[in-house]
Amino acid sequence: MEMETNETFQPRRATKRGGLNAPITIIILIGIAMAVFYGLFGSSANFEGGDSYAGHPKNFMGIIYKGGVIIPFLMSFFLMVIVFGIDRYFALQKANGKGNITKFVDNIRDLVGRNQINDALELCDQQKGSVGNVVREGLTTYKALANDNSMNKEQKLIELNKTLEEATTLEMPALEKNTSIISTIASVGTLIALMGTVIGMIKAFFALGEGGGTPDAAKLSVGIAEALINTGTGIGASAIAIIVYNMITSKIDDLTFKIDEVGMSIQQSFAAHH
């Protein structure tokens, strides 16, 4: 009997789910940002006289180009937030499963409450997704423990709770993949922008010191403009990253809550019927 019990509770492997390869994606997005910045925003058509260095910007793209070398990196931050945000959106949609997740949870709780474990397992097979996977793992252990005479009730409840916790833990990395990149951008974006701001202000102060005490107004305005462009771009990138990150974490928390809700129902049902 002991051998059968050990075979029943084999460690479960983590769910393998697709997702973007972070290093490769980041390199590609930086390359795209560089190409757009120098090829499109730096086009001579965006500046008076066709001079991207000394010419006055004619449009918004020309203004952004005047922000200097830090801007393409801030642009890549925008792209990373959008791309990784979309990637997480589809991953979380897949984690929900095929049917309505709230209805699935309610149906599972009802079936488990009536001790109809086989029907609940069939519903998990139909639903799939992270919640379905965790619930199925718990219900499979529920059935095995119900027929196990080598443990007392308290030991069985501990084993059931352990199985549910392990199954949840193994699902979480697939849900949280690449979210750390978005949170990092939310924190680092303003710091990178501050670097560009400092560079712009340094240029402005150099302009103040040139010309024997008479500042060069053109160079002074260019330095101040570069500082402000970097500040605005960095704040924008960080703000979007914070919004996207909070939306993703809120969705993950909602899925985790539903898993915990069903897990509690499974344990309560086991305690009541066994």
3-state secondary structure of 47: strand
pLDDT tens digits along 45-96: 988 888 887 788 888 899 899 898 999 999 999 999 999 999 999 988 888 8
Q: Report the range out of 14-23, 98-107, 199-208 with the highest average pLDDT.
A: 98-107
Phi, psi of 39, rounded to the nearest 5 degrees: -85, -40
**pLDDT exceeds cutoff 60 at 193:** yes
What letter does residue 45 receive in the DSSP assignment? G
How far apart, in whole angstroms, are the C-alpha atoms of residue 164 and residue 167?
Answer: 5
For residue 269, the model assigns a pLDDT of: 86
Span 242-264, mean pLDDT?
91
pLDDT bracket for residue 153 (50, 70, 90): confident
pTM for the model stands at 0.81
Q: Burial level of 71, CB count in 10 A (0-12/13-18/19+)? A: buried
pLDDT bracket for residue 173 (50, 70, 90): confident
Tokens of 12: 């479960």
pLDDT bracket for residue 245 (50, 70, 90): very high
234 or 212, which is more confident: 234
For residue 17, the model assigns a pLDDT of: 53
Q: How many CB atoms sit inside 10 A of residue 173's CB?
A: 12
pLDDT bracket for residue 238 (50, 70, 90): very high
Span 180-187, mean pLDDT?
93
Q: What would the DSSP string read from start to end of 92-133?
A: HHHHH-SS-HHHHHHHHHHHHHTT-HHHHHHHHHHH-HHHHH
By C-alpha distance, which of 245, 244, 238 is closest to 193? 238
**pLDDT exceeds cutoff 60 at 6:** no
How far apart, in whole angstroms, are the C-alpha atoms of residue 245 and residue 88?
Answer: 10
Q: How many CB atoms sit inside 10 A of residue 250's CB?
A: 9
Query: In this prediction, what percent of the chain has a pLDDT beyond 90?
Result: 37
pLDDT bracket for residue 3 (50, 70, 90): very low
What letter does residue 55 receive in the DSSP assignment? S
Span 136-156, mean pLDDT?
87
Span 112-121, mean pLDDT?
88
Could you tell me the maximum CA-CA distance found in the chain, to the nearest angstrom? 95
Q: How many CB atoms sit inside 10 A of residue 105's CB?
A: 19
The residue whose two tokens read 């400092």 is: 198
**pLDDT exceeds cutoff 50 at 5:** no
pLDDT bracket for residue 212 (50, 70, 90): low
Span 230-257, mean pLDDT?
93
